[in-house]
């Protein structure tokens, strides 16, 4: 490990039975010895709380602690994540093992930080056990105070759902016999996130009390978690990255680099700079599947992609491929026979590059000028009423792919974050709105920003009720239009001049607000062979001048067939410029600090690519001066340092660029 440039390892996430072989009998000797041995070679340790896999001696006497799926089936011992994090009994055990570990390791200088649990909600998140129902009812009472307030918020008068007591409220169940109340379902999804955060916060309190100098993080960006809130008590967030999951038969099993970028951006949007706790180290696979083996250079490329998006540390999973258990074919850096081969050599190259360039990278943060707004509530609201339409996450990925292909400084930004420094904001699928967010978005436009919204924006309130005001509700003045009609259609395009542009799934007929500075950019086309359509020749896309900025309302979804044209319309209202010229297969991002910029050039193709129109600088990896062009070999990477004057001072978290294995 030391020879490969490793300076950190992660361990103990599934080791509860080793550290406590029977209740109250602790034995940390294996970890004491291992941590000390690693420390002798300059390698520090990240420990994990082992609560994702409680031991059998604990679970066999507590069947009521097991999670229950929506069909009433209780989980059984023999896998992982089988205990319910909302059960008070299991919560006490979680605190107990965390406290024991924290007290034992609190004075060990080789332990630098912690990961809570492991990949919360990785397998399933919607537990239906009695403990969860009681916790949900308590959560609702704390939120609403009175049952009348809840009935009003959910609109329980529909289908005679009015409740007299909080204890009367069941879990929303899909298709039993038909669809649940959308307000109830949205609150249940919020409860899932809040309950999980409470479980994590119990562990965090124990760790901080034992040693306030430890940093604490978590690994995973999974569903039904409000990551912005969830990261609130963490020092920074973390994520596990397996690009192989994006390789589908429809794509000839080619890895989609935008898939990895989207996950990275989701993590960075939650807390700023972050750490990758698990980066794919081989052809990972379990019982039903196997990922394509990374081609020579891809593993290193994916690690640098993480750094390019804001990671201050990258750990590969795993070090040696396990010879037993459910992950015997989840390949590590070393094979089952423990012999160093091609993957180790590539890993070693990456580790030495991080070791050499860490001081140059730390303290820089990703540059984002074109933002795709993300908010957990929007995804949750969509899940309550999907209507067969694309989710906000699907629209986000279309937008990220297009902006990256144009090599613009882009990324995801949480709606709760500051909009300072942004020039362009996209609102993909933001059906929920409130007056506070609407005012912030209006101020962004008024102060010179460009705001772009897709169909159904700002049509529901935070209780998931449709607003009584004409869409887009609180953003009506911002966009200068109202939506006079909306609906689904079959292949209805819109026309811009003589061009026909496909629309995705829905149409909205726009009405220009009187006396507004709004112009029509496109109208809905006629359907010559489908009879009369209400939208034909009616406004579909509109541009409104508000204050010093612009607001564009698109009465359609961002889809695979129209995102490129819609992004072009938006960019025409900005002064944003590409960071360089290159093929779409080359990913370009920037990290910056004060008066210098690091441009990351990542070639995701199997062919040599040339990047042009670069600012002169030096490739830190090769040491070669770069003027205006640079050639990247297949799966090649360059990190070009230039001096400039950024618009604002930036700060970052992190004390060392971490390279390691978990």
Segment 87-104 shows an average pLDDT of 98
Report percent pLDDT > 70 for the chain. Answer: 97
206 as an active site residue: the answer is no
* Confidence band of 654 (pLDDT split at 50, 70, 90): very low
Q: Are 504 and 492 in contact (CB under 8 A)?
A: no
Listed in sequence order, the residues at least 6 apart from 230 whose beta carbon sits closer than 8 Å to its beta carbon are 193, 196, 197, 200, 218, 270
Say yes or no: 437 and 488 in one domain: yes
Report percent pLDDT > 90 for the chain. Answer: 88
Q: Are 305 and 651 in contact (CB under 8 A)?
A: no
**Consecutive H or E run containing 152:** helix 147-154
Strands (E) in 42-152, as ranges, are 44-48, 111-115
- The answer, yes or no, to whether residue 530 has pLDDT greater than 80, is no
42-46, 162-166, 170-174, 245-249: which range is least confident on average?
245-249
3-state secondary structure of 570: helix
* Pair of tokens at residue 27: 């034995």
In terms of Cα–Cα distance, which of 181, 100, 167 is closest to 385? 181
* Long-range Cβ contact pairs of 173-179 (< 8 A, separation 24 or more): 173/70, 174/70
Say yes or no: 515 and 601 in one domain: no
Q: What angle do CA 569, 574, 575 make, to 5 degrees?
A: 130
Tracing tokens 């809570």 back to the chain, one arrives at 116
Burial tier of 651 (Cβ tally within 10 Å: 0-12, 13-18, 19+)? exposed
Say yes or no: 507 and 548 in one domain: yes
Sign, Cα dihedral of 102, 105, 107, 113:
negative
Segment 302-320 shows an average pLDDT of 97
Q: Are strands 617-619 and 637-643 parallel, antiparallel or unpaired?
A: antiparallel
d(CA 540, CA 494): 7
d(CA 324, CA 342): 23
Longest C-alpha distance within the chain, in Å?
79
- The answer, yes or no, to whether residue 647 has pLDDT greater than 50, is no
d(CA 413, CA 344): 36
Helix ranges restricted to H, 406-525? 435-446, 476-479
Q: Rg of the chain over CA atoms, in angstroms? A: 26
Q: What angle do CA 649, 655, 658 make, to 5 degrees?
A: 120
* Confidence band of 270 (pLDDT split at 50, 70, 90): very high
DSSP result, 66-81:
B-B-TTSPBP-SSSSS
Q: For residue 502, what is the DSSP state? A: -
Q: Can you give the pLDDT at residue 611?
A: 98
Cα–Cα distances (Å) from 215 to 183, 207, 364, in that order, read: 37, 9, 19
Say yes or no: 115 and 82 in one domain: yes
**Consecutive H or E run containing 632:** strand 630-632
d(CA 580, CA 393): 27
Q: How many domains does the chain have?
A: 3
- The answer, yes or no, to whether residue 489 has pLDDT greater than 80, is no
- Domain edge (last residue) among 508, 536, 571: 571
Q: Are 255 and 292 in contact (CB under 8 A)?
A: yes
Range of the domain at 161: 1-235
Say yes or no: 204 and 99 in one domain: yes
Please give the mean pLDDT across all residues of the chain. 94
Q: Could you tell me the CATH number of the domain that includes residue 498?
A: 3.40.50.880
Q: Can you give the pLDDT at residue 650?
A: 34
Q: Can you give the pLDDT at residue 646?
A: 41
Segment 308-320 shows an average pLDDT of 97
3-state secondary structure of 412: strand
- Domain edge (last residue) among 571, 597, 619: 571
Q: Can you give the pLDDT at residue 253?
A: 78
Q: Are 508 and 470 in contact (CB under 8 A)?
A: no
d(CA 192, CA 127): 9
d(CA 404, CA 381): 27
Say yes or no: 170 and 206 in one domain: yes
- Domain edge (last residue) among 514, 542, 571: 571
Q: Which of the residues 13, 185, 206, 278 is marked catalytic? A: 278
Q: Can you give the pLDDT at residue 175?
A: 85
Q: Which residues of 6-25 are buried (b: 16+ CB within 10 A; e: fewer)?
A: bbbbbbbbebbeebbeeeee
Residue 309 placed within a domain:
no
Listed in sequence order, the residues at least 6 apart from 187 whose beta carbon sits closer than 8 Å to its beta carbon are 140, 143, 154
d(CA 104, CA 42): 21
Residue 126 placed within a domain:
yes
Residue 312 placed within a domain:
no
Q: What angle do CA 271, 409, 642 make, to 5 degrees?
A: 100
d(CA 383, CA 189): 9
d(CA 363, CA 352): 19
DSSP result, 444-502:
HHHTT-EEEE-TTTT-B-TTSPBPSSPTTGGGHHHHTEEEEEEEE-SS--EEETTEEE-
Q: Can you give the pLDDT at residue 183?
A: 98
Segment 195-202 shows an average pLDDT of 98
Segment 408-416 shows an average pLDDT of 98
Q: Are 512 and 544 in contact (CB under 8 A)?
A: no
Q: Could you tell me the CATH number of the domain that includes residue 632?
A: 2.60.40.1180
Tracing tokens 């990047």 back to the chain, one arrives at 611
Residue 171 placed within a domain:
yes
* Pair of tokens at residue 311: 């990671």
d(CA 562, CA 626): 36
Give per-residue pLDDT as tens, 68-93.
999 999 999 999 999 999 999 999 99
Segment 445-454 shows an average pLDDT of 98
Residue 607 placed within a domain:
yes
- Which strand ranges, in their side-by-side order, compose the sheet holding 586-593? 365-366, 586-593, 596-603, 637-643, 617-619, 625-626
- The answer, yes or no, to whether residue 296 has pLDDT greater than 60, is yes
Q: Can you give the pLDDT at residue 649?
A: 35
d(CA 486, CA 493): 14
In terms of Cα–Cα distance, which of 369, 374, 421 is closest to 578? 369
380 as an active site residue: the answer is no
Residue 627 placed within a domain:
yes
483: left (phi > 0), else alpha (psi -120 to 50), else beta?
beta
Say yes or no: 506 and 598 in one domain: no
Q: Can you give the pLDDT at residue 498?
A: 85
Residue 246 placed within a domain:
no
Say yes or no: 495 and 644 in one domain: no
Say yes or no: 31 and 103 in one domain: yes
In terms of Cα–Cα distance, which of 3, 242, 22, 300 is closest to 122? 242
What angle do helix axes 182-210 and 376-384 make, rounded to 10 degrees?
A: 140
What is the model's pTM? 0.95
Q: Which of the residues 13, 93, 119, 185 is marked catalytic? A: 119
In terms of Cα–Cα distance, which of 414, 411, 419 is closest to 443? 419
In terms of Cα–Cα distance, which of 99, 97, 5 is closest to 43? 5
Q: Are 231 and 197 in contact (CB under 8 A)?
A: no
Say yes or no: 493 and 640 in one domain: no
Say yes or no: 231 and 95 in one domain: yes
Give per-residue pLDDT as tens, 359-403.
999 999 999 999 999 999 999 999 999 999 999 999 999 999 999
Residue 298 placed within a domain:
no
Q: Can you give the pLDDT at residue 644?
A: 66
d(CA 66, CA 127): 9
Q: Are 38 and 77 in contact (CB under 8 A)?
A: no
* Pair of tokens at residue 459: 């049509």
Give per-residue pLDDT as tens, 120-134.
999 989 999 999 999
Q: Can you give the pLDDT at residue 657?
A: 67
* Confidence band of 653 (pLDDT split at 50, 70, 90): very low
Cα–Cα distances (Å) from 575 to 449, 454, 533, 543, 648, in that order, read: 11, 22, 38, 16, 18
Say yes or no: 566 and 592 in one domain: no
d(CA 518, CA 523): 14
Helix ranges restricted to H, 178-256? 182-210, 227-230
């Amino acid at each position: 490990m030391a020879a490969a440039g490793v300076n950190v390892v992660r361990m103990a996430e599934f080791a509860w039975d080793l550290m406590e072989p029977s209740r109250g009998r602790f034995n940390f000797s294996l970890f004491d010895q291992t941590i000390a041995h690693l420390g002798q070679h300059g390698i520090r340790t990240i420990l994990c709380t082992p609560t994702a896999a409680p031991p059998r001696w604990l679970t066999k006497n507590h069947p009521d602690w097991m999670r229950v799926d929506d069909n009433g089936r209780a989980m059984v011992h023999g896998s992982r994540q089988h205990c319910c994090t909302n059960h008070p009994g299991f919560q006490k055990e979680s605190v107990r093992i965390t406290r024991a570990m924290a007290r034992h390791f609190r004075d060990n200088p080789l332990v630098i930080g912690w990961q809570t649990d492991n990949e919360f909600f990785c397998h399933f998140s919607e537990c239906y056990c009695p403990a969860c129902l009681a916790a949900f009812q308590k959560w609702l009472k704390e939120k609403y105070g009175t049952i009348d307030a809840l009935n009003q918020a959910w609109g329980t008068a529909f289908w005679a759902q009015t409740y007299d007591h909080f204890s009367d409220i069941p879990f929303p169940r899909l298709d039993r016999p038909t669809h649940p109340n959308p307000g109830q379902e949205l609150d249940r999804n919020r409860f899932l996130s809040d309950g999980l955060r409470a479980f994590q916060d119990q562990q965090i309190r124990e760790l901080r009390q034992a040693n306030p100098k430890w940093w604490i993080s978590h690994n995973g960006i999974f569903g039904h978690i409000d990551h912005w809130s969830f990261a609130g008590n963490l020092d920074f967030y973390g994520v596990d990255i397996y690009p192989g999951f994006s390789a589908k038969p429809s794509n000839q099993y080619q890895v989609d680099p935008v898939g990895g970028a989207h996950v990275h951006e989701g993590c960075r949007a939650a807390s700023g700079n972050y750490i990758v706790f698990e980066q794919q180290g081989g052809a990972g696979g379990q019982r039903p599947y196997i990922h394509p083996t990374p081609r020579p250079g891809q593993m290193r490329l994916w690690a640098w992609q993480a750094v390019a998006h804001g990671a201050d540390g990258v750990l590969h999973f795993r070090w040696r491929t396990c010879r037993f258990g459910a992950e015997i074919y989840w390949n590590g850096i070393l094979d089952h026979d423990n012999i160093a081969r091609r993957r180790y050599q590539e890993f070693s190259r990456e580790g030495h590059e991080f070791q050499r360039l860490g001081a140059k990278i730390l303290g820089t943060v990703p540059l984002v000028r074109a933002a795709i707004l993300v908010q957990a509530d929007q995804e949750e609201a969509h899940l309550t009423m999907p209507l067969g339409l694309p989710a906000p996450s699907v629209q986000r990925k279309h937008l990220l792919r297009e902006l990256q292909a144009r090599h613009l400084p882009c990324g995801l930004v949480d709606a709760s974050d500051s909009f300072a420094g942004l020039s362009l904001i996209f609102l993909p699928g933001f059906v929920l709105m409130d007056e506070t967010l609407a005012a912030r978005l209006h101020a962004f436009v008024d102060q010179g920003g460009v705001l772009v919204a897709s169909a159904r924006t700002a049509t529901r309130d935070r209780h998931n009720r449709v607003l009584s005001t004409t869409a887009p509700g609180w953003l009506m003045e911002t966009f200068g239009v109202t939506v006079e009609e909306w609906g689904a259609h079959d292949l209805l395009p819109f026309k811009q001049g003589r061009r026909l542009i496909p629309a995705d799934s829905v149409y909205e007929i726009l009405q220009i607000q009187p006396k507004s500075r709004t112009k029509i950019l496109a109208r809905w086309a006629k359907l010559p062979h489908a009879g009369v359509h209400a939208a034909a020749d009616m406004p579909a896309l509109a541009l409104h001048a508000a204050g010093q900025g612009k607001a564009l309302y698109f009465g359609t979804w961002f889809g695979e067939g129209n995102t490129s044209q819609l992004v072009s319309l938006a960019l025409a209202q900005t002064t944003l410029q590409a960071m360089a010229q290159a093929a779409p297969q080359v990913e370009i991002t920037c990290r910056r600090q004060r008066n210098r910029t690091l441009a990351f050039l990542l070639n995701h193709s199997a062919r040599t690519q040339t990047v042009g129109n670069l600012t002169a600088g030096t490739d830190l990896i090769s040491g070669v001066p770069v003027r205006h062009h640079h050639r990247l070999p297949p799966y090649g990477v360059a990190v070009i340092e230039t001096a400039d004057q950024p618009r604002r001072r930036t700060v970052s978290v992190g004390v060392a660029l971490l390279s390691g294995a978990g």
